[in-house]
Amino acid sequence: MQSEEAIGVFDSGVGGLSVLAHIRDCLPHERLFYVADSAFMPYGCKSNQLVEERCLSVAAFFAEKKCKAMVVACNTATAAAVHHLRAMYDIPVIGMEPALKPAVGFSRAGVVGILATSGTVGSEKFRRLKDRYALDATLIVQPCPGLVEQIEKGDLDSEMTRSMLGSFLQPLMLQGVDTLVLGCTHYPFVAPLIREIVGETIAIVDTGDAIAREVERQLQLNNLLRSPLRLTDDRSALVKFGTTGDIDQVEPLMSQLWGKDTSPKQLLF
């Protein structure tokens, strides 16, 4: 039965694990297959054509595995390829976008800061999204070059990471933002450090929970929800991992961020 098949989730590296965690918590009975396309990490500074090609390659792998839905757990990849994937595959394809709508709703002062990769900031999809909410709030976009790479090193709270974040956040704070959007799936992993820097008065908005609820909605609409957990189910065994990168480099970081052993499979495509 198709409802028994896995949901495929991918990102250019380990950032999408933040989204995977929300999906697992929302749908603990579902089978999940996470792919870190680490050999091509990060997508944010790559050409649109290359990002699209990688998304098509990962999607073809998920199709081969008969995944019943795909989650593009990357803002840059969503902007580059989600429309192609939806045209090619007759299954739910859920993408990401910075959570501007809830952020504008949260903001008391009407000043919202957006942390994002250069690839997201430069996309037409992001420009259209920004224009949609620009009348309701002042939206200040802050590209964060190098931050994904720091997170991919597992360097979540060093002085170098703190200094980098400070240089990105200080201009936003000086302009009076009271709400901050994490516009990349990697960034939730440094949310505690961001909180230390900005203090308690600035709201931090992550899209992972909303994406998980959209996955649930799409599965319900398509009658693809898996039956609730059986007594024989091993919850940890329901989640599998793979990477196109170097296993010896990726596995320790993936397990660190996931909080338990991931034992990713080596993927060649």
Active-site annotation holds for 184:
yes
Prediction pTM value:
0.91
One domain, residues 195 and 230 = no
Q: How many domains does the chain contain in total? A: 2
Place of tokens 């996931």: 258
pLDDT digits (tens, 9 = 90+) for 57-75: 999 999 999 999 999 999 9
One domain, residues 46 and 143 = no
Alpha helices of the chain — where are they, by DSSP H? 17-26, 48-64, 75-88, 100-106, 118-121, 124-133, 147-152, 159-174, 191-198, 208-221, 247-258
Is the pLDDT confidence value at 154 over 90? yes
One domain, residues 137 and 14 = no
CA distance 162 to 68: 40
One domain, residues 26 and 88 = yes
CA distance 77 to 10: 10
Find the catalytic residue in 55, 67, 144, 184.
184
CA angle 237, 242, 247 (to 5 degrees): 115
DSSP 8-state symbol, 227: P
How many percent of the chain have pLDDT more than 70?
97
Strand partners, 32: 7, 239
pLDDT digits (tens, 9 = 90+) for 78-105: 999 999 999 999 999 999 988 999 999 9
Query: What is the span of the domain harbouring residue 222?
Result: 2-96+209-266
Q: Quick one: pLDDT at residue 31? A: 96
Find the catalytic residue in 55, 67, 74, 144.
74
Q: Which of 206, 222, 257 is the last residue in one of the domains?
A: 206
One domain, residues 189 and 150 = yes
One domain, residues 76 and 107 = no
Q: Which of 177, 206, 235 is the last residue in one of the domains?
A: 206
Least confident window among 50-54, 109-113, 124-128: 124-128
Q: Quick one: pLDDT at residue 121? A: 87
Is the pLDDT confidence value at 233 over 80? no
Q: Edge-to-edge strands of the sheet including 265-266? A: 93-94, 69-72, 7-11, 32-36, 239-243, 265-266
How many percent of the chain have pLDDT more than 90?
88
